[in-house]
């Protein structure tokens, strides 16, 4: 009989944790997963990826129907009206189905859900709401929470974080978004489409930090054109709530005169930080780094033998698919197999209209490493995009000048999020731009723009 209750206990049932638990159980390990939420699926399924995409889709449909944008296709819709209650109920239904789906998968794979908050009392021992459980291995997959802005109190009524902004029961007349990153632009887009005036306040001089410079410039043009007010290079110094209104005080990031902006709602979206508080890391001698993350080795092991960590709580992009892949890999490593994640090829997508997707190096990063060639193709010249009246954006392929190996791909398009998978797969297989250029792509599709951008690396696109 084993000395431990479980071969593996995972703390946290987000995309990192639930995937690690399922994979471990598939590999024959006796597995439990500790989760304190009422439902499984973590931030992503409950208050992140899934509800935000449900609202992005629904709000896009509303805007198309309501704005008259379909008239050019000969589709006239009179009297389209918003039923926000139904939109929110639909979102809640999607979340319920998917979180329930994880519960089903746990049962199917015989993963035990230990309901409650987990805390280390030893390297192999956890306290889960007063109950002691032991595991030969423990994976920390506790995820992240919103980074607070000093001096700004989130009340989830007037001043909200992403969770509050997913749950408004009426459209705010003026929504001020603090932070021009992924959450600010996705949720800002939702409420803009549903009728709010949206002002985005971003500390840096461009939106979407970390993305390719050209893409970031284009993003500013696109969101301005959609009617968002952008205050770049601006910092928020305070938010005062009076009744149902907020007064947001801002000033230039570089210093200068302060200005006040009145808002009906304020969304704080200035990043997320790892969840390690109350986990008892000190008990097992595990520290966090300057960014609050748990440091790991190549196999996702921490410096404490038998304790592993994955997902938002460790370094790297805070993305669900990165957490999931790490979940598979850590379970395989614990089971004695070789689990790897190629962190150089993690796609990122902003699900606005159009979408912004990227994988690999930005042009700026690639230039720092050596000589490069860049091919670019606009959707203006893509026949399917033309037919759909959907010509905003471009594809950019960055390749090593000598080896022609693809180093990065950046796409702005309504279908960018779907298209980027091809680029990621090509890069995972070590493709050159020529490999993509000589791959037959179906016509007419948006994907042909990727082929043409790859042809452009050698200076020879056909359709431009
Ligand atoms: P989490 O999903 O945060 O899960 C951690 C879980 O651990 C939580 O359920 C928490 O309750 C539990 N937990 C924590 N501490 C304990 C404890 N001590 N005991 C028991 N349980 C504990 N990413 C994408 O890739 N695509 C998207 O479209 C996307 N959209 C997003 C939209 C929003 C609004 C937000 C906020 C995030 C979005 N993300 C998106 C990011 C994505 O949600 C995270 O990267 C992902 O959820 C991280 O997974 P994780 O398993 O590391 O942690
Ligand atoms: P973010 O890091 O994407 O953007 C935060 C922005 O706030 C940055 O541009 C930053 O410069 C700015 N900022 C910071 N302090 C500020 C201040 N005081 N005043 C004004 N601006 C300030 O973080 P965000 O949007 O909160 O999202 C958190 C994480 O969640 C993302 O990093 C991403 O990993 C994940 N996410 C992913 C999504 C996706 O994949 N589609 C969707 C939503 C979230």
* C-alpha of residue 321 to centroid of ligand 1, in Å: 11
Q: Which residues line ligand 2 (CB under 6 A)?
A: 149, 178-184, 186, 201-204, 209, 235-236, 269-272, 317-319, 349-351
Please check whether residue 88 is in contact with residue 59, taking contact to mean a CB–CB distance below 8 angstroms.
no
Task: Please give the mean pLDDT across all residues of the chain.
Answer: 98
> Residue 335: pLDDT above 80?
yes
> Residue 381: pLDDT above 90?
yes
Nearest Cα residue to atom 2 of ligand 2: 271
* C-alpha of residue 312 to centroid of ligand 1, in Å: 7
For 411, list phi and psi in degrees, rounded to 5: -135, 130
Q: Which CATH number fits domain 159-270: 3.60.21.10, 3.40.30.10, 3.50.50.60, 3.40.50.10860?
A: 3.50.50.60
Nearest to 201 by CA among 272, 271, 252, 273: 252
Q: Which residues line ligand 1 (CB under 6 A)?
A: 11-17, 34-37, 42-44, 48-49, 52, 117-118, 141-144, 162, 183, 275, 279, 311-312, 318-321, 323, 351
The model's pTM: 0.98
Model pLDDT for residues 149-195, shown as the tens digit of each residue? 998 999 999 999 999 999 999 999 999 999 999 999 999 999 999 99
Which residue matches tokens 């520290």? Answer: 287
Instruction: Provide the residue ranges of all domains of the chain, joining segments of one domain with +.
Output: 6-146+273-334, 159-270, 348-457
Nearest to 29 by CA among 44, 42, 10: 10
Closest ligand to the CA of 9: 1
* C-alpha of residue 329 to centroid of ligand 2, in Å: 27
* C-alpha of residue 180 to centroid of ligand 2, in Å: 7
Distance CA 356, CA 217 (A): 12
> Residue 59: pLDDT above 80?
yes
Please report which confidence band the pLDDT of residue 240 belongs to, taking 50, 70 and 90 as the band edges: very high
- SS3 for the chain is CCCCCEEEEEECCCHHHHHHHHHHHHCCCCEEEEECCCCCCHHHHHHCHHHHHHHHHHHHHHHHHHHCHHHHHCCCCCCCCCCHHHHHHHHHHHHHHHHHHHHHHHHHHCCEEEECCEEEEECCEEEECCEEEEEEEEEECCCEEECCCCCCCCCCCCEECHHHHCCCCCCCCEEEEECCCHHHHHHHHHHHHCCCEEEEECCCCCCCCCCCHHHHHHHHHHHHHCCCEEECCEEEEEEEEECCEEEEEEEECCCCCCEEEEECEEEECCCEEECCCCCCHHHHCCCCCCCCCCCCCCCCECCCCCEEECHHHCCCCCCHHHHHHHHHHHHHHHCCCCCCCCCCCCCEEECCCCEEEEEECCHHHHHHHCCEEEEEEEHHHCHHHHHCCCCCCEEEEEEECCCCEEEEEEEEECCHHHHHHHHHHHHHCCCEHHHHHCCCCCCCCCCHHHHHHHHHHCCCCCCC
Model pLDDT for residues 294-325, shown as the tens digit of each residue? 999 999 999 999 999 999 999 999 999 999 99
Closest ligand to the CA of 15: 1
Name the residue of 50, 271, 324, 416 to mutate for ligand 2: max ligand atoms within 8 A of Cβ: 271
* C-alpha of residue 295 to centroid of ligand 1, in Å: 18
Across 87-124, b (16+ Cβ under 10 Å) vs e yields bbeebeebbeebbeebbebbeeeebbbbebbbbbeebb
Contacts of 452 (CB under 8 A, 6+ apart): 375, 377, 381, 382, 395, 461, 462, 463, 464
* C-alpha of residue 159 to centroid of ligand 2, in Å: 16
Q: What is the pLDDT of residue 2?
A: 78
Closest ligand to the CA of 116: 1
| Catalytic position from the list 298, 321, 353, 443 | 443
Please report which confidence band the pLDDT of residue 66 belongs to, taking 50, 70 and 90 as the band edges: very high
- Burial category of 313 from C-beta neighbours within 10 Å (exposed 0-12, middle 13-18, buried 19 and up): buried
Distance CA 271, CA 83 (A): 31
Atom of ligand 1 at shortest range from CA of 18: 51
> Residue 139: pLDDT above 70?
yes
Please check whether residue 449 is in contact with residue 392, taking contact to mean a CB–CB distance below 8 angstroms.
no
- Burial category of 408 from C-beta neighbours within 10 Å (exposed 0-12, middle 13-18, buried 19 and up): buried
- Assess if CATH 3.30.390.30 describes domain 348-457: yes
Which residue matches tokens 């196999």? Answer: 299
Helix 182-193 to helix 213-225 angle (10° resolution) is 20
Catalytic site includes residue 443: yes
Q: What is the pLDDT of residue 6?
A: 98
Distance CA 287, CA 279 (A): 11
Please report which confidence band the pLDDT of residue 1 belongs to, taking 50, 70 and 90 as the band edges: low
Task: Enumerate the β-bridge partners of residue 119.
Answer: 127
Question: How many Å separate Cα 445 from the centre of its chain?
Answer: 26
Task: Enumerate the β-bridge partners of residue 308.
Answer: 139, 301
**Cβ neighbours of 432 (radius 10 Å):** 18
Q: What is the pLDDT of residue 265?
A: 98
Name the residue of 10, 35, 142 to mutate for ligand 1: max ligand atoms within 8 A of Cβ: 142
Distance CA 126, CA 34 (A): 10
- Burial category of 377 from C-beta neighbours within 10 Å (exposed 0-12, middle 13-18, buried 19 and up): buried
pLDDT mean over 203-215: 97
pLDDT mean over 424-447: 98
Please check whether residue 206 is in contact with residue 356, taking contact to mean a CB–CB distance below 8 angstroms.
no
Q: Do domains 6-146+273-334 and 159-270 have the same CATH topology?
A: yes
> Residue 56: pLDDT above 90?
yes
- Assess if CATH 3.40.50.1820 describes domain 6-146+273-334: no
Q: How far is CA 437 from CA 212, 423, 456, in A?
A: 22, 12, 9
pLDDT mean over 118-140: 98
Q: What is the pLDDT of residue 287?
A: 97
């Amino acid at each position: 009989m084993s000395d431990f209750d479980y071969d593996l206990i995972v703390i946290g049932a987000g995309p990192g944790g639930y995937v690690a638990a399922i994979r471990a159980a598939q590999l024959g390990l006796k597995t439990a997963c500790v989760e304190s939420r009422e439902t499984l699926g973590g931030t992503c399924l409950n208050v992140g990826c899934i509800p935000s995409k449900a609202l992005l889709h629904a709000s896009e449909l509303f805007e198309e129907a309501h704005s008259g944008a379909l008239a050019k296709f000969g589709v006239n819709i009179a009297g389209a009206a918003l039923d926000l209650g139904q939109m929110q109920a639909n979102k809640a239904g999607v979340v319920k189905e998917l979180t329930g789906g994880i519960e089903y998968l746990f049962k199917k794979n015989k993963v035990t859900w230990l309901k409650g908050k987990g805390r280390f009392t030893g390297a192999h021992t956890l306290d889960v709401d007063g109950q002691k459980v032991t595991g030969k291995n423990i994976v920390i997959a506790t995820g992240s929470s919103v980074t607070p802005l000093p001096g700004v109190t989130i009340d989830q009524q007037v001043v909200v974080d992403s969770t509050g902004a997913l749950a408004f029961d009426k459209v705010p007349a003026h929504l001020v978004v603090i932070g021009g990153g992924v959450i600010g632009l996705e949720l800002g887009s939702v409420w803009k489409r549903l009728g709010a005036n949206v002002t985005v306040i971003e500390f840096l001089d461009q939106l979407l930090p970390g993305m390719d410079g050209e893409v970031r410039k284009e993003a500013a043009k696109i969101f301005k054109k959609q009617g968002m007010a952008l205050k770049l290079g601006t910092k928020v110094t305070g938010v005062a709530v009076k009744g149902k209104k907020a007064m947001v005080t801002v000033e230039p990031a570089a210093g200068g005169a302060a200005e006040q902006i009145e808002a009906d709602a304020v969304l704080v979206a200035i990043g997320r930080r790892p969840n390690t508080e109350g986990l008892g890391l000190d008990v097992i001698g595990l520290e966090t780094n300057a960014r609050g993350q748990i440091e790991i080795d190549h196999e996702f092991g921490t410096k404490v033998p038998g304790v592993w960590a994955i997902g938002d709580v460790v370094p790297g992009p805070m993305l669900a698919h990165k957490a999931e892949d790490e979940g598979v890999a850590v379970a395989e490593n614990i089971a004695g197999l070789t689990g790897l994640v190629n962190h150089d090829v993690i796609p990122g997508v902003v699900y606005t209209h159009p979408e912004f997707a990227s994988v690999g190096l930005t042009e700026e990063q690639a230039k720092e490493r050596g000589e490069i060639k860049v091919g670019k193709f606009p959707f203006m010249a893509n026949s399917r995009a033309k037919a759909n009246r959907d010509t905003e954006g471009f594809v950019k392929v960055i390749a090593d000048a000598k080896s022609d190996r693809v180093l990065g791909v950046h796409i702005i398009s309504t279908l960018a999020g779907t298209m980027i998978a091809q680029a990621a797969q090509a890069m995972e297989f070590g493709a050159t731009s020529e490999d993509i250029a000589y791959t037959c792509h179906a016509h007419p599709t948006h994907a042909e723009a990727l082929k043409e951008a790859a042809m452009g690396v050698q200076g020879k696109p056909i359709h431009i």
